[in-house]
Structure 1
């Protein structure tokens, strides 16, 4: 059998895993710095937990898990004969792989509400699965790194999460554009365009603007029920570049004015503290997820920044506020807001820019090699003492030709090689070679 893996998934070599860990460590550091607490949820959720939370297109991308045992035994024979997959599904699959970390979090909050202090701030760094078409920066299995707050309507959290986004990308050495909008502004647009009853269709379509352009968006809006007048209103709205331009367009929409006021307060809070990246209002930002009701974020690589002009990548982080996500699980009046980092896309961007720190792929500080069998026992004692002191060290398992052992050191990305012969074993002074420069010097054990 020819070995293979499912499409949209990947194996990772040791150096790649270490670089991924570097990204996770930077993100985790900022999560903890801002007071977020770690939680974990199962890989699988009940399908009823997941369906209907991600919009029409999102539901199509859910991975369903077949029931255990003879899953067809309880399926309706007529539905099977008619090849009605939607009806058959409910009888053969009760579980699905998690699509994101937010809906499972809402379920978690409801189930553990008596154990949590509100506002509750949580983070999670775990894989999710989407049956999307694989392409650059888009996989069917990938990690999300989420931070959420539930139990407060305070706009301080919108400002705080923007600071968190800014700090992470600064530490990663990436220049980013952090774009914000508010779903209430979009609700106001739907209201004045006569599409209040069809807002979800409108936002899903607007969210495609940067991918397919206005002409295709206009055509799709028409197909979703917008008349020429509504399309003209939407076009005028999407041409606005700042909140001051949008405000008069929504003068007759109470919800739209509320969205403008909320977003202005967030921008005022952000402006009161120094930041490292561009933070902008983007009226075209819609984010198609059903549960967002307030502020929404999307973060992209800043292609105007020196050295980043050639990057072609979609969003590398995003998020939003949701007014009452937990009510679908029977717990009302629990507002929340959260963001998510796209670790896979961040990895691909850092790799393309060659922006990983030089030591991000290293797992060793020293590789010990022995020139003869007599030195090997001494080498085992030395590597054991180094490990006991917290030094990351390894020992080549036998005496071999020097070139062979040095080639292995290169393959292991060992920054320093300790060469041990009978003379070194006797004196306790070791020849240490720095692989990057070729420099070699004598070092005693206490200096390691």
Structure 2
């Protein structure tokens, strides 16, 4: 990622980086099932057929190993906070604890779950973490149309070819496109005219955190809801619908697409909601509303996913597979302590800078606002799941690299869950200095 330059001397500079950085998701052997092209390229890299970076051990689970874990615990709910676990969590956060909002649910012994919370009712915009609710809306709409036919749902996602239009504008995130005829893997910013399957746009939304892809996914979810079993419609029909339908009707359709799946799946719209498109053009063409979540509501969503309660078991499993972190891990997921763990992850950020003597503005390093949001499901070791826990983390620590802090905090939380101690997790107790390289985006090597 390129770093931002120094703060301008006029006004405020506010930069939205909703899930910036690429973190490739979905199991590597999923190409035959989904048709997600870049999965085949990643598989070839892993076997040595193509050049490229190899995966950490925790990223190598196959599709049959990436599954929901709590089907046998349908009545499990978030318990009252464990006092000792919560005390250690707050100690871990150190002197900046009030800048963090955290919830952890330890499911290592699902019959005796443990919950730790610090300001878990704090509500704010969580950026790209809200793309989980976009995925939920897609799978809910598909299930409504084909309640007893998961194969047809998958065919819709795999076989529907989508052409991007102006709704992708403007976004800086790059996505990976693989050409099966040439065997070439390209990385590019999505532009009008680019094509991919519905599965691929979902994958680009979740893995590369492409705002452009997310807006195309939302647009087609609206078309799916509008046209029902006549979906997919051709490009011209879709364009005509969005051109000729009045703005009030489009706004209503957006609400009906994104919000009912939240309440239908047992969650509270006052605590968690995605209200709008992710690109400026999408927001201009279809009026939305505010978006937000709390750490507790995000833990609740992840718990319902693990129980198979997000729509149904098929949908919950596929959403979890979309979250599976393979190849390049960033931010929270990039902690070396998690290399042998299966990590299911999403993040989003927003930072803002203004002129300040002696301060230079970097990505994730704002002095006015420095929001970073992460959700993760961790299974450790991958394939064995001796430890299994859910994390929702929100922070606003000014003048520090929030990507690095989330990476560091992941190390401490993992130590806390796996050993019960925080002996090695003193990173957030340190002074204002940061180690060399902390200005760079935290990325697993």
TM-score (norm 2): 0.21
TM-score (norm 1): 0.21
Higher relative contact order (CA 8 A, sep 6+): 2
- Higher Cα radius of gyration: 1
